[in-house]
Amino acid sequence: MVTHRIALIPGDGIGREVTPAARQVLDVVGKRHGVGFAYDEFDWSCRRYAELGAMMPEDGLDRIRHHDAIFLGAVGDPSVPDHVSLWGLLIPIRRGFRQYVNLRPVKVFAGVESPVRAARAGEVDLVVVRENVEGEYSEIGGRLGHDLAVQEAVFTRAGTSRVAAFAFRLAAARRGRLTSATKSNGIVHTMPFWDEIVAETATDHPGVTWDAEHIDALCAKVVLDPARFDVVVASNLFGDILSDLAAAVAGSIGIAPAANLNPEGEFPSMFEPVHGSAPDIAGRGIANPLGAIGTAAMLLDHLGHAEAAAEVEQAIGDVLAHTRVRTPDLGGTATTETFTKAVLEALR
């Protein structure tokens, strides 16, 4: 039996509530497939920050460098400025482990009503491939006294072409359609650079049909006609916006899974649902665990267990299609625990 070592970082708020759900699912489906998981739990969080003044220890990255994967619940708490919690934990891991792809699949499931009329179950199935380590999220910049703040967006050829290549390969393995998010009419230096590199990358993938859309029009189209999209490749900021928007179109941000991938496998990848720590509902046991469970499926897939991953996805789909168990974000009254149990039963 193969055993994978997983670094578990439940984090803050509902992150602590949905992480056990993911873990239970991994254990159950792993058992059936002869795959074991050994977890090391790390209490890196805003709570730790309050006590010790840092989100994680100085050698944090070294402590998880040799794990097979990282599972992170969610990070953030109103008592700590967002940029502290994120730049003190999430972003150092993404960057330190060269997780340059943030993969965010979005599906409309049968049994979930989309807020958007055109989004019918089974028809919407897109993946946002978000550049995850450079671009608009940059520490370069600052203030000139009281009166001026500047921030530099930085795009490298290497960084742009590797994420573009990943997206084209993914599109080739799916329905062969790719859309690149741009804003080269307004952002006149970095976005035309992005466009050129995407166009160059496209020549290596003649089987993929692709186009570029300005982010303003693209957001509108995600609402008007989400079924038209297959793979959407976007910069760090645009990918963040598009994946939240698309998750809302799918019915709830609570069901959206995500993976921060280091595709070359030089470092562990990190699996982290799209939703945040949701301080408004934290502690009540009503967080939707499906985002975390779908994220666990992505972890399985990444570690080479495609069949097990498919079973987890199937179980999520079955619970939504064939039961009425729902957490409040989906209009129901179920708890995290009940919803998780329903998935575990569907798995059996």
Specify the pairing of strand 69-74 against strand 269-271: parallel
The DSSP symbol for 109 reads: P
Considering only 14, 22, 163, 215, the residue that binds its own copies (CB under 8 A) is 215
What is the distance between the alpha carbons of residues 50 and 226, in angstroms, rounded to a whole number?
42
Considering the complex, state which of residue 204 and residue 216 has its C-beta at the smaller distance from ligand IPM. 216
Considering the complex, state which of residue 287 and residue 308 has its C-beta at the smaller distance from ligand IPM. 287
Considering the complex, state which of residue 56 and residue 86 has its C-beta at the smaller distance from its own copies. 86
Residue 151 contact, options its own copies, ligand IPM, none, Cβ 5-8 Å cut-off depending on partner type: its own copies
Q: Does 228 bind its own copies (CB under 8 A)?
A: no
Residue 49 contact, options ligand IPM, its own copies, none, Cβ 5-8 Å cut-off depending on partner type: none
Contacts of 340 by beta carbon, 8 Å cutoff, 6+ apart: 20, 21, 24, 25, 289, 293
- Kindly name the residue from 12, 183, 301, 329 that is annotated as catalytic: 183
User: What does the angle CA 103 – CA 284 – CA 53 come to, to the nearest 5 degrees?
Assistant: 65
Tokens found for residue 1: 């039996």
Our measurement of the distance from residue 292's CA atom to the centroid of its chain's CA atoms, rounded to an integer in Å, reads: 10
68 is catalytic: no
The CA–CA distances, whole Å, from 324 to 109, 124, 160, 253, 334 equal 13, 22, 43, 19, 9
Site string for its own copies, 280-319 (x = CB under 8 A): ----------------------------------------
- Kindly name the residue from 27, 39, 244, 341 that is annotated as catalytic: 244
What is the distance between the alpha carbons of residues 305 and 26, in angstroms, rounded to a whole number?
11
Considering the complex, state which of residue 186 and residue 285 has its C-beta at the smaller distance from ligand IPM. 186
Q: Can you tell me whether residue 233 is helix, strand or coil?
A: strand
User: What does the angle CA 162 – CA 292 – CA 37 come to, to the nearest 5 degrees?
Assistant: 85
Q: How far is the CB of 76 from its own copies (least distance, A)?
A: 8
107 is catalytic: no
240 is catalytic: yes
Using CB under 6 A as the binding criterion, the count of chain residues that bind ligand IPM stands at: 5
What is the distance between the alpha carbons of residues 161 and 199, in angstroms, rounded to a whole number?
10
Considering only 3, 185, 314, 333, the residue that binds ligand IPM (CB under 6 A) is 185
Q: How many CB atoms lie within 10 A of CB 217?
A: 12
Using CB under 8 A as the binding criterion, the count of chain residues that bind its own copies stands at: 60
216 is catalytic: yes
Q: How far is the CB of 12 from its own copies (least distance, A)?
A: 13
Considering only 12, 68, 134, 240, the residue that binds ligand IPM (CB under 6 A) is 240
Residue 201 contact, options ligand IPM, its own copies, none, Cβ 5-8 Å cut-off depending on partner type: none
The order of strands in the sheet holding 231-234 is 35-41, 2-11, 69-74, 269-271, 259-261, 101-107, 125-131, 231-234, 177-182, 209-214
Q: Does 190 bind its own copies (CB under 8 A)?
A: yes
What is the distance between the alpha carbons of residues 193 and 37, in angstroms, rounded to a whole number?
43
Q: Does 86 bind ligand IPM (CB under 6 A)?
A: yes
Q: Does 245 bind its own copies (CB under 8 A)?
A: yes
Residues with a catalytic annotation lie at 137, 183, 216, 240, 244
What does the binding site for its own copies look like in residue numbers (CB under 8 A)? 76, 82-83, 86-87, 113, 115-118, 136-137, 139, 141-143, 146-158, 183-194, 215-217, 219-221, 223-224, 236-237, 240-241, 243-245, 247-249, 253
